[in-house]
A and B are shown apart, each in its own frame.
Chain A
């Protein structure tokens, strides 16, 4: 199949960028979207041009590196699929495909389609863990956890940290990302001691990183390659509300 790509090119973090058109001739429908970009890059290099930079690593939909806005949709048209798992058979011959990086202030563009998602790591630093120093653990079966609880925790724990939720959110909110972690840890017995402190700190960090608030648009859930539910956001709001009424400001003060 033959396609026309319109791709965001930006030589560096501070340099201005623009959409540039490329033809992608005889593309196999069995290629993944990234393999299609590989082919385009190979051709660019043969013509002595600079290839298009994009983040990718596992190409199995699990590492969360790939991060492309395709025709205005994060990770492209296929539901519950990271772009590395998107295959060209979902497009038609002659399609024009616009490809852009995630766009929010918290994810500055590094080059072309590559952005810096360090803000997500910093949200995790702000309490997105259970403090369990190595060596201190008791036998794994001492605490029983109902299957349903673990399954719900796992649904949230699947987050691959790709940032598509942020990219798709009209507010540029990282709520789904933070909420999935808060839900995963907040559901498990091991996560209880730090539960409310965690909620306060992670929410505070989202604001510090200049992510937007949540209007409950629901776009994040749709864009999420792991189909994480906005129920997690409800849970985050509940924990935060409870925390702010009980724990008070102390917990946050420590963090900032």
Chain B
């Protein structure tokens, strides 16, 4: 029986982290050299952790599947990163960021973690500026800010519409510096396919060299997964094509608990789907909602061009329903509102699956140039994709899968249920509860990587006796053999359907039954269909080529096979959580005016699932959540 001890230090919330940092065991500088940390992932989490650990003196081996660590999907983050700097003097504070994030997460996150995140947010900005991250500035030379959803203060730092890129390049450059110094060894185009657990501790990973196909083991004293989110289980999402769940899923199958798998974030402002061939969805940063007004026609099926529709016949539904937050209502709420109006057949565009994001008033107010300065590159991107000019006609947007709040369960030290296995960034179940506020994932990834993990991993290393292991260890050989066999199995099916066709079908199931709105019967249907689809996959998938070469179809097949299992767990989790909270909206559980209806009495816990073997129902473990500081209340943005 697995026990979930969050290991949250006691004491007043604002002292916990300081106290903990003092209490953790330290590894003396001379000994750090003797430890090897395997860092899987080179995103904001991975790169910042790899660099910081190497600076401390640890040996770090870092892995990523792209051809360069700089291409991790963090690069795509557009809008910005939050920090409680209160540079605007608008009443922000660590406590307010903490409060907003707990409330934004609809009371399904750990207070202590969130508070720590808010505390560290301040150091992150300092760190990044010191690295040369070119955050936007005022004419006076001070840092600029913008507002993001779910907050009434302006605390978001940004670098045009490329904040993630600049933050990642900052972390990447620090890591390249350490590579140059010899502290970090980088393994690009290397995919982790399994976790090696020896004597109950995570001691290594098995990887596939994506160029030669060579399967090999890497061993060390601790394993860190910073492998990002699993939104691609829906096929269409704002994630990169390569984003996958493989690393965390295989760790799950080795005994790591998977927390809140069904908590997915549907982002309200993405470019609508245009056709069957669509391969991914493109986000239009939330920051656009600073100046854009969201509306649909008042009456059903009004197919007039937006310009032809007079103000009196427009429904600015966010401003109407949520006067105090208006267009900056949190993501889950804004997305659901969009779905509602489209279900009422008031959606726009051929498909009727879209709403307008209108800049006409903003352009009147501040002028086209100001808008161009703020969002120029986003407008260009929109025009390139849709061939429409958002300066003259409103953007068409629709919600799309964007972020996964769920992930591997971790304690206060970011360690999972397998000793030695640490999980950072989007890959862990993180600090965002049931809904992530905008600009807080970059904050969390960097807090984990720069500041938290470097402090906590030492505690694990110093307090555990780790026998030497090397890649010739029988367990390594065994796992390697399993991985090789699994790959051969995929190649030998030689069926008739392509991997993508399965992925698309799974995505549709997930979107229909486990998407923006869920209900019992739908989830039950999905729980029947997914195993059938999985069976068909293993019977009829066609994976061309061999395993001794660059084989992108094979890479995809492995990832989709994992999605086919993960999707089922997500539905199971969604079905068991008989309440609505944040991104998890169960139609059976809503207030009369259609807002999410939580059931704190029965569901104020983290649902951590433990793998029980193939075709066995996983076991549910609960980490109860207490709220001492932010009082449980129905979330209102009215």
Any A–B CB pair closer than 8 Å: yes
Measured CB to CB, the residues of A under 8 A from B are: 11-13, 28, 30-32, 34-35, 38-39, 42, 45-46, 48-51, 53, 55-65, 78, 80-81, 85, 87, 89, 110-111, 114, 116-118, 120-121, 124-141, 143-147, 150, 153-154, 157-158, 160-161, 184-185, 188, 190-191
Query: Could you jot down 20 A-B contacts, CB within 8 Å?
Result: A35-B277, A35-B279, A38-B500, A42-B498, A56-B241, A57-B73, A62-B76, A65-B66, A78-B384, A87-B384, A132-B131, A133-B55, A134-B55, A135-B127, A140-B85, A140-B126, A140-B135, A145-B141, A153-B134, A154-B134
Q: Is the CB of A150 within 8 A of B137?
A: yes
**Chain B 536-553: CB-based contact to A (< 8 A → 1; otherwise 0):** 000000101100011011
Which residues does chain A contribute within 8 Å of B451, judged by CB atoms?
134-135
Query: What's the nearest-Cβ distance from chain B to residue A144, in Å?
Result: 3
The answer, yes or no, to whether B152 is at the interface (CB within 8 Å) is no
- Contacts A38-B277, A58-B73, A87-B385 given; indicate if A188 touches B500 (C-beta within 8 A): no
Measured CB to CB, the residues of B under 8 A from A are: 48, 51-52, 55, 66-71, 73, 75-76, 85, 87, 123, 125-132, 134-143, 159-160, 162, 165-166, 169, 172-174, 176-177, 179-180, 186, 188, 211, 240-242, 274-275, 277-280, 282-283, 380-381, 384-385, 387, 450-451, 454, 498, 500-501, 542, 544-545, 549-550, 552-553
Q: Is the CB of B241 within 8 A of A35?
A: no
Q: Is the CB of B126 within 8 A of A114?
A: no
Query: What's the nearest-Cβ distance from chain A to residue B607, in Å?
Result: 31
Query: What's the nearest-Cβ distance from chain A to residue B373, in Å?
Result: 9
Q: Is the CB of B169 within 8 A of A157?
A: yes
In the bound complex, CA of A59 to CA of B127 (Å) = 29
**A78 closest partner in B (C-beta):** B384
Which residues does chain B contribute within 8 Å of A133, judged by CB atoms?
55
Query: What's the nearest-Cβ distance from chain A to residue B299, in Å?
Result: 29
**B159 closest partner in A (C-beta):** A154
Query: What's the nearest-Cβ distance from chain B to residue A187, in Å?
Result: 9
Which residues does chain B contribute within 8 Å of A51, judged by CB atoms?
544, 552-553
A35, A125, A153, A154: the one within 8 Å of B278 (CB) = A35
Q: Is the CB of B176 within 8 A of A128?
A: yes
Top 10 A-B residue pairs of the complex, sorted by shortest distance between their CB atoms: A144-B141, A129-B173, A137-B130, A137-B126, A132-B130, A140-B129, A57-B240, A134-B52, A125-B180, A63-B71
Secondary structure of the A contact surface, majority rule? loop
B67, B75, B275, B450: the one within 8 Å of A55 (CB) = B67
Query: What's the nearest-Cβ distance from chain A to residue B496, in Å?
Result: 8
Which residues does chain B contribute within 8 Å of A35, judged by CB atoms?
277-279
Which residues does chain B contribute within 8 Å of A139, judged by CB atoms?
126
B126, B142, B177, B454: the one within 8 Å of A131 (CB) = B177
**Residue among B134, B451, B542 with the most chain A CB within 10 A?**
B134
Which residues does chain A contribute within 8 Å of B283, judged by CB atoms?
60
List 10 other contacts, CB 8 Å, given A62-B75, A63-B71, A132-B127: A57-B73, A59-B280, A65-B66, A81-B384, A118-B67, A134-B52, A140-B126, A147-B139, A154-B159, A190-B131
Q: Is the CB of B211 within 8 A of A118?
A: no
- Contacts A65-B67, A118-B188 given; indicate if A188 touches B173 (C-beta within 8 A): no
In the bound complex, CA of A60 to CA of B279 (Å) = 11
- Contacts A11-B549, A137-B130, A154-B160 given; indicate if A125 touches B176 (C-beta within 8 A): yes
In the bound complex, CA of A190 to CA of B134 (Å) = 11
In the bound complex, CA of A147 to CA of B501 (Å) = 49
Q: Is the CB of A63 within 8 A of B76?
A: yes
Which residues does chain B contribute within 8 Å of A127, judged by CB atoms?
180
Q: Is the CB of A59 within 8 A of B240?
A: yes
Which residues does chain A contribute within 8 Å of B188, judged by CB atoms?
118, 121
Query: What's the nearest-Cβ distance from chain B to residue A111, in Å?
Result: 4
Q: Is the CB of B126 within 8 A of A134?
A: no
Which residues does chain A contribute within 8 Å of B75, judged by CB atoms?
58, 62-64, 160
Q: Is the CB of A144 within 8 A of B140?
A: yes
Q: Is the CB of B279 within 8 A of A38?
A: yes
Q: Is the CB of B139 within 8 A of A110?
A: no
Q: Is the CB of B277 within 8 A of A184?
A: no
**A124 closest partner in B (C-beta):** B176
Q: Is the CB of B387 within 8 A of A89?
A: yes
Q: Is the CB of B275 within 8 A of A28?
A: yes
- Contacts A28-B275, A62-B165, A136-B130 given; indicate if A141 touches B142 (C-beta within 8 A): yes
Q: Is the CB of A30 within 8 A of B69?
A: no
Q: Is the CB of B67 within 8 A of A53?
A: no
Q: Is the CB of A62 within 8 A of B126?
A: no
**A43 closest partner in B (C-beta):** B498
**Residue among A58, A125, A150 with the most chain B CB within 10 A?**
A58
- Contacts A38-B279, A161-B70 given; indicate if A130 touches B130 (C-beta within 8 A): yes
Query: What's the nearest-Cβ distance from chain B to residue A14, in Å?
Result: 12
Which residues does chain A contribute within 8 Å of B73, judged by CB atoms?
57-58, 63
Q: Is the CB of B159 within 8 A of A121?
A: no
B126, B141, B274, B500: the one within 8 Å of A42 (CB) = B500
Q: Is the CB of B277 within 8 A of A28?
A: yes
In the bound complex, CA of A130 to CA of B240 (Å) = 28
**Residue among A55, A116, A133, A160 with the most chain B CB within 10 A?**
A133
In the bound complex, CA of A127 to CA of B501 (Å) = 45
Q: Is the CB of B70 within 8 A of A30?
A: no
**Residue among A50, A81, A150 with the most chain B CB within 10 A?**
A150
Query: What's the nearest-Cβ distance from chain A to residue B138, in Å?
Result: 7
Q: Is the CB of B498 within 8 A of A111?
A: no
Q: Is the CB of B550 within 8 A of A85?
A: no
- Contacts A11-B549, A39-B277 given; indicate if A137 touches B123 (C-beta within 8 A): yes
- Contacts A35-B279, A53-B550, A137-B129 given; indicate if A118 touches B137 (C-beta within 8 A): no
Q: Is the CB of B130 within 8 A of A57?
A: no
In the bound complex, CA of A120 to CA of B140 (Å) = 35
Which residues does chain B contribute within 8 Å of A141, judged by CB atoms?
87, 142-143
Query: What's the nearest-Cβ distance from chain B to residue A182, in Å?
Result: 12
Q: Is the CB of A147 within 8 A of B138?
A: yes
B69, B242, B544: the one within 8 Å of A48 (CB) = B544
Q: Is the CB of B132 within 8 A of A184?
A: yes
**A48 closest partner in B (C-beta):** B544
In the bound complex, CA of A46 to CA of B553 (Å) = 13
In the bound complex, CA of A140 to CA of B137 (Å) = 11
In the bound complex, CA of A85 to CA of B279 (Å) = 12
Which residues does chain B contribute within 8 Å of A89, judged by CB atoms?
387
Query: What's the nearest-Cβ distance from chain A to residue B270, in Å?
Result: 11
- Contacts A31-B277, A118-B188 given; indicate if A188 touches B87 (C-beta within 8 A): no
Q: Is the CB of A118 within 8 A of B132?
A: no
In the bound complex, CA of A30 to CA of B275 (Å) = 8
A117, A126, A132, A146: the one within 8 Å of B180 (CB) = A126
Q: Is the CB of B165 within 8 A of A158?
A: yes
Which residues does chain A contribute within 8 Å of B135, judged by CB atoms?
140, 150
In the bound complex, CA of A68 to CA of B550 (Å) = 18
Q: Is the CB of B132 within 8 A of A185?
A: yes
B67, B87, B553: the one within 8 Å of A117 (CB) = B67
Q: Is the CB of B277 within 8 A of A120?
A: no
Q: Is the CB of A132 within 8 A of B142?
A: no
Query: What's the nearest-Cβ distance from chain B to residue A225, in Å?
Result: 11
**B179 closest partner in A (C-beta):** A125
Q: Is the CB of A147 within 8 A of B550?
A: no
Q: Is the CB of B241 within 8 A of A57?
A: yes
In the bound complex, CA of A121 to CA of B240 (Å) = 21
Q: Is the CB of B141 within 8 A of A147?
A: yes
